[in-house]
Amino acid sequence: MRAKAGVGALGLALLAILVFLAVSSWSRQPAAARPSVQPITFPHNVHVQTYKIDCQYCHADARRSEYAGLPSVARCMGCHKITAADKPEIKKLAGYAARSEPIPWMRIYKVPEFTYFPHKAHLRAGLSCQTCHGPVETMTTVGARTGPRLANDLLNLVGLRPAPPPVTMGWCIECHRRENAARGMHAPLDCVTCHH
Amino acid sequence: MKRRDFFKIVTTSGAAAAVAGCQQSAERILPLVVPNEQIVPGVAAWFSTVCRECPAGCGVIARNREGRVVKLEGNPDHPVNRGALCLRGQAALQGAYHPDRFAGPQQRQGGALRAVSWDEALKLVAGKIGELRQAGRSKAVALVTQLENGSLAVLMDRWTQALGTRPRVSLEPFGYEAIRAANRIVFNRDAIPHYAFEEAEVILSLGADFIETWLSNVSYARAFKRMHGFREGRAGTFIHVEPRQSLTAANADEWVRNAPGTEGLLALAILRAMIDEGLADRRFSEAVAGIDVKKVAEESGVSAETIKHIATLFGRARPGLAVGGGVAVTGTNATPTLVAINLLNAATGAPGRTIRFGPDSAYGKVTPYGEVAQLVQAMAKGEIDVLLVGPRTNPAFTLPGGLKFADAARKVGLVVSFANQPDETTALAHLVLPDTHWLETWGDYAPREGVIGLMQPTMSPVRDALPMGDVLLRAARAVLGTEEGKGPLPWASFEQYLKTAWEPLLRGQLDGWQAALQQGGVWRETPPAPVTAKIGAVQASRPKLDGDPGGLVLLAYPSFRFYDGRAAGAAWLQEAPDTMTQAVWEAWVEIARETATKLGIAQGDVVRVSSPHGAIELPAYVSASLHPSAVAIPIGHRYAPYHARYVAGSPTPMNPVALLPAGADPASGAAAYLGVRVTLTKTGTRRPLAILQATHDQDDRELAQHVDLSTAREQALRGKPKEHEFLSMYPPQHYPGYRWGMTIDVDQCVGCQACVVACQAENNVPVVGKAQAAYGRQQHWLRIERWAEGRPERPLNVFLPMLCQHCEVAPCEPVCPVFAAYRTEEGLNGQVYNRCVGTRYCGNNCPYHVRRFNWYDQEFPAPLDVQLNPDVTVRQLGVMEKCTMCIQRIVAGKDRARDEKRSVRDGDILTACQQTCPTQAITFGNLKDDQSEVSKLAHSPRAYHVLEELGTRPSVTYLKKVTRGHA
């Protein structure tokens, strides 16, 4: 009995220390959520809503590859050689094109490196981009808050089952289960399908 | 608080701290500026080319991901290798991504190589050649390259003519000149034919190591198993004669150990016995007039009964095939020996059937060693002022020590090497002009008449390099003072020359060039030309040996892992064990047990091996099977500078070629590899070898099983009597979709290690180094065990590829506290790295010893990290890993099938080991499909499971080796 109490006390002490460490650095925002960090302020809303450009016109690899892909500088310039060529942000773009330099976009979405996520299979299953990425068409600059969160972890720990945050494994699995049950899909639930 | 809760709190809070503690790093993603139409990021593009790791010239397809090649596979359409590759072909990638690759041209300044610009370097070469030309001494320029017989060869010959230099030397250390000479004498053809192993009933090899390096090892290993493998329904016989139990010998039904250098005498004695028994035409009597079987028996150490037995077997074969001329048995008597072998072939009716002149091998164009020796002598006399040494040619390492190449090279004013990584020759060079790796270059190569492989760049060069053809063209134009488009060498680049040269070949074909690039070349059937044998007396004697007459005969044999040493830069090959000894990294001297006992040498003792031409110090490997009058050392062991991280201490020379005399076989000009006796002295130090398999004794565990031929035939016909079935307390598993499984035919496996390296390349398996490997911490997911039965001096060897058995009732799974090892619904044992906490319980509980633990965060020194397969996780410290049956290929196969709205078909998915296997010993597929190849094989009467009695119910089924009256 005493040993058990000792284990419990040790566990709680560890927990307290780690919670303190976690909370003390919790105030930070994901870097990607700050709009100014992208090298060019790219408004998704203008492209999608005003000009009705399909997501896959620019992210053309999504239907055939693991990666959704970014448009090449040449593809951007295909329109912007003429369209809005006088705007300061477009001039930045033209600068990259003239120097034959890639645009150093800031990465927003990333699954861990031990995870294999193919865009292709999800498009084939009829998913829309917004299912995972949110209403990108309304965003002036895409930001995302993804990944595990302390609040969820703590709630989980005390036995509550909060909804998993977007683009975490629990969230993926829930969707796979839901779709399999509701639409008779064959979304895999096997660990090694994504972790290999 | 329960134990479970404690773990939960600690792991959860640990994870939370980890998340909170590290700042999210700002990662950039860069789009292409201008898209490349052939490359879709995330989707592999395949380019076909030709493997140039040895003159066999197998077809290769290179898997390019995001602009970098990550895996090589055999080209399934190529007539030489039919989709297979050997371990050297698989490891060629590590040559392209060699960490020591030169960053650009180098010039020796003050003793060390320093970077210079291409213009400066070219000016230097052109200036020197121009000077000599003006002085009328163009003949003081010599060009030495590896064997080339395509457009590059033609271009280089035009180059030597235009500049008036000495004719080009095609230096291949393993040139097989004696085979050509013997064919000239007997069949009147100065060529090396195509050997149709698959058509022979009996193969008699007198020292031809055709499973290791002899001529075309992938092609001949495959053809051999078509003739020998029970699965193909043709259980031919293979007899191998060699003083050492080589890998090829271990695959023989009968390995006959002879005294070194007696192959010719034995061939004649066998022919004599055939005539005596009426199994050969009396016409051949003339050739064997002076041969007495008993005398030969005495001299060779092979009993007269054995000689007669071989004669009966071989004489009855219609047809048989006798092969010889392996590098290790090439001495000053090589040509008469091969003449005798040719006569055996003529007697069995081999010409036109198992020996086919017409589709002649590229080896026929090798410059005989005798002429190479003349060049070195000219260098020593100061007659050569400019020596140009082509890529993958390392004469300072591959030429016999007696020739003293290094001393001769020091007399040359300008030594230029085209090597792209440092070697013994670049250490002597004044100038290094790194050539592109063959994966980065245009070219063509015809491994045999009628088969022309086309090479294309499969990626852009990893380091600053120029194709040798381009350098020669530019240098020549500078010397001749001509412009592009004019003069004798008008082509802007070698690529342009190649395309011009191919035009007539593809004339009249729509999209011929594209089709040839896609297919990997052009090929047509070349019918065998009729030949008649000239029968004459043969003076077969024993070879002349240099050195102490009381010494031991040195058997310097090519390593199947490193060839002549050109492949040794690949760390994968250093760590792929030599199948017979299971040693990795360091070279060894194989000493017969009798000699070791006499000299008091134990395994791992460092022994000084001395000949009149040099001495090397190597750890001893004590062998029960080696002929007592010989010692054996593998050729090709050398370290690259970056291997220092894997092997402690400063490297010592390991090259037995340094001990050889300069002499040659007089009739053919072949280098006498069997040419010296050596003496052994104990140095008193010890350097234990890293040997990965502790014992070759199965101890009645029946891991590798075998069945004799007659039983196998009967069971194949009538089925196997029902055996006792093991009872299990576990319910059978239900598989809703596929059930993946594998069969491994032990009878087909020749132990070539190609699968081991293919697995390493595919699955990002790290290299651990000698010390860790010696400690049993190698990371291979797949290994080839050698099990030996019977007398240790002449055992029956069975090769058992061992990998995760994907058990239905897996001992590893229930002991995992975090559910990282689990059973998938498709019959695999999954291993989830991100869940694994590294308790190693699973590894402890695995009866097959196939799980590997990451004791360190393994590094992949740049640019080798670029080779990593992006579809496979790179495992980190503290994680257990093992064979996944190439789950990434299964996922990709299912993805393809879904694209086409169908289910996976048999043969859609090939695992990396299966894909590269030269003998197709491995089959993978869906066990639930009765019609799949794997299902059929798994129900063969030869099928068994390793350690079946444990009740693990593996998904990997082995097929027993079939033995044919082994002694």
Q: Are residues B598 and B683 in the same domain?
A: yes
**In this complex, do B3 and A7 lie within 8 Å of one another by their Cβ atoms?**
yes
Name which of A17-21, B494-498, B617-621 the model is least confident about: A17-21
Is the link from the previous residue into B319 a cis peptide, with omega within 30 of 0?
Answer: yes
In a domain, B662, yes or no: yes
Q: Are residues B286 and B417 in the same domain?
A: no
DSSP annotation of B327: G
**Closest listed residue to residue B738, CA positions, set B554, B908, B861:** B908
CA distances from B518 to B62, B458, B507 (A): 12, 12, 17
In a domain, B806, yes or no: yes
| pLDDT band with cut points at 50, 70 and 90 for residue A157 | confident
B37: which 2 tokens? 């139409």
Q: Are residues B665 and B741 in the same domain?
A: no
In a domain, B37, yes or no: no
First to last CA, chain B: 67
For residue B4, the model assigns a pLDDT of 47
d(CA A103, CA B132): 53
Q: Are residues B915 and B851 in the same domain?
A: yes
| pLDDT band with cut points at 50, 70 and 90 for residue B324 | very high
- Residue B532: how many other CB atoms lie within 10 Å: 10
Q: Are residues B406 and B388 in the same domain?
A: yes
d(CA A121, CA A66): 8
Res. A30: pLDDT tops 70:
no
**Which of B:833-852 have CB within 8 Å of A?**
833-835
Tell me the per-residue pLDDT of B896-917, one tens digit each, with 9 for 90 and over.
Answer: 999 999 999 999 999 999 999 9
Tell me the per-residue pLDDT of A8-20, one tens digit each, with 9 for 90 and over.
Answer: 777 777 777 766 6
| pLDDT band with cut points at 50, 70 and 90 for residue B6 | very low
Nearest to A25 among B5, B14, B20 (CB): B20
Name which of A109-113, B456-460, B639-643, B830-834 the model is least confident about: A109-113
d(CA B210, CA B560): 10
Domain boundary among B309, B336, B364: B364
| Structural domain containing residue B246 | 177-364
Percent residues over pLDDT 70 in chain B: 97
Name which of A148-157, B169-178, B421-430, B491-500 the model is least confident about: A148-157
In a domain, B9, yes or no: no
Q: Does A46 touch chain B (CB under 8 A)?
A: no
Query: What CA dihedral angle connects B610, B615, B618 and B622, to 10 degrees?
Result: -20
Could you tell me how many residues make up chain B?
967
Q: Are residues B588 and B614 in the same domain?
A: yes
- Cβ atoms of residues B176 and B366 within 8 Å: yes
Listed in sequence order, the DSSP H helices in chain A are 2-24, 44-45, 55-58, 73-80, 88-98, 119-124, 129-133, 150-157, 169-183, 191-194
**A-B contacts at Cβ under 8 angstroms:** 167
| pLDDT band with cut points at 50, 70 and 90 for residue B188 | very high
For residue B492, the model assigns a pLDDT of 93
Q: Does A150 touch chain B (CB under 8 A)?
A: yes
In a domain, B329, yes or no: yes
- Angle formed by the axes of helices A150-157 and A2-24, to 10°? 160
Q: What residues have CB less than 8 Å from B298, skipping those under 6 apart? A: none
Q: Are residues B671 and B592 in the same domain?
A: yes
DSSP annotation of B653: -
| pLDDT band with cut points at 50, 70 and 90 for residue B130 | very high
For residue B25, the model assigns a pLDDT of 56
Nearest to A150 among B6, B16, B27 (CB): B16
In a domain, B57, yes or no: no
- Determine the Cα angle at B615 with ends B614 and B617, to 5°: 160
Return the HEC string of B54-114. CCCCCEEEEEEECCEEEEEEECCCCCCCCCCCCHHHHCCHHHHCCCCCCCCCEEEECCEEE
User: Furthest-apart CA pair in chain B: how many Å?
Assistant: 96
Tell me the per-residue pLDDT of B70-83, one tens digit each, with 9 for 90 and over.
Answer: 999 999 999 999 99
Q: Give strand pairing partners of B678.
A: B552
For residue A32, the model assigns a pLDDT of 41
Tokens 């064919």 label which residue? B183
d(CA B812, CA B818): 12
Res. B12: pLDDT tops 50:
no
Q: Does A181 touch chain B (CB under 8 A)?
A: no
- Cβ atoms of residues B883 and B759 within 8 Å: yes
Tell me the per-residue pLDDT of B497-533, one tens digit each, with 9 for 90 and over.
Answer: 999 999 998 888 878 999 999 999 999 989 999 999 9
Tell me the per-residue pLDDT of B570-591, one tens digit each, with 9 for 90 and over.
Answer: 999 999 999 999 999 999 999 9
For residue A19, the model assigns a pLDDT of 65
In a domain, B84, yes or no: no
- Please report residues of B whose CB lies closer than 8 A to that of A19: 13, 16
Q: Are residues B562 and B506 in the same domain?
A: no
CA distances from B683 to B610, B655, B794 (A): 12, 18, 30
CATH at B651: 2.40.40.20
CA distances from B264 to B36, B132, B189 (A): 59, 48, 20
DSSP annotation of A165: P
Q: Does A75 touch chain B (CB under 8 A)?
A: yes
**In this complex, do B28 and A105 lie within 8 Å of one another by their Cβ atoms?**
yes
For residue A6, the model assigns a pLDDT of 66
For residue B139, the model assigns a pLDDT of 95
Res. B305: pLDDT tops 80:
yes
Q: Are residues B399 and B358 in the same domain?
A: no
Q: Does A145 touch chain B (CB under 8 A)?
A: no
> Mean pLDDT of all residues in chain B?
93
Averaged over B263-272, what is the pLDDT? 96
**Closest listed residue to residue B208, CA positions, set B176, B164, B231, B163:** B176
| pLDDT band with cut points at 50, 70 and 90 for residue A145 | low
**In this complex, do B13 and A7 lie within 8 Å of one another by their Cβ atoms?**
no
In a domain, B203, yes or no: yes
- Please report residues of B whose CB lies closer than 8 A to that of A4: 1
Beta strands in B482-588 (DSSP E): 521-523, 552-558, 583-584
For residue B235, the model assigns a pLDDT of 84
Coil vs helix vs strand at B724: coil
User: Closest Cα of chain B to A51: distance in Å?
Assistant: 22
Task: Say how many domains are in chain B.
Answer: 4
Res. A36: pLDDT tops 90:
no
d(CA B931, CA B935): 7
Domain boundary among B364, B384, B399: B364
Environment class of residue B43 by beta-carbon count within 10 Å: exposed (0-12), middle (13-18) or buried (19+)?
Answer: middle
Coil vs helix vs strand at B202: strand
Q: Which of B64, B891, B896, B904 to mutate to test the interface with A (most CBs of A within 10 A)?
A: B891
3-state helix, strand, coil split of chain A in percent (to 5) is: 50, 0, 50
Q: Are residues B557 and B619 in the same domain?
A: yes
Q: Are residues B888 and B815 in the same domain?
A: yes
CATH at B901: 3.30.70.20
Res. A4: pLDDT tops 70:
no
- Read off φ and ψ for residue B454, nearest 5 degrees: -110, 135
Percent residues over pLDDT 90 in chain B: 89
| pLDDT band with cut points at 50, 70 and 90 for residue B36 | confident
CATH at B325: 3.40.228.10
CATH at B425: 3.40.50.740
Q: Does A193 touch chain B (CB under 8 A)?
A: yes
Averaged over B790-819, what is the pLDDT? 95
**Which of A:96-135 have CB within 8 Å of B?**
96-97, 100-107, 110, 112-116, 118, 120-121, 124
For residue B150, the model assigns a pLDDT of 94
A160: which 2 tokens? 């509550």
Q: Does A8 touch chain B (CB under 8 A)?
A: yes
Tell me the per-residue pLDDT of B538-574, one tens digit each, with 9 for 90 and over.
Answer: 988 899 999 999 999 999 999 999 999 999 999 999 9
Nearest to A61 among B8, B41, B826 (CB): B41
**Which of B:886-905 have CB within 8 Å of A?**
887-888, 891, 895, 898-899
For residue A159, the model assigns a pLDDT of 86
Q: Does A40 touch chain B (CB under 8 A)?
A: no
Strand-strand pairing, B783-789 and B796-802: antiparallel
Q: Does B64 touch chain A (CB under 8 A)?
A: no
For residue A165, the model assigns a pLDDT of 85
Nearest to B891 among A153, A156, A193 (CB): A193
Coil vs helix vs strand at B362: helix
Q: Are residues B899 and B949 in the same domain?
A: yes
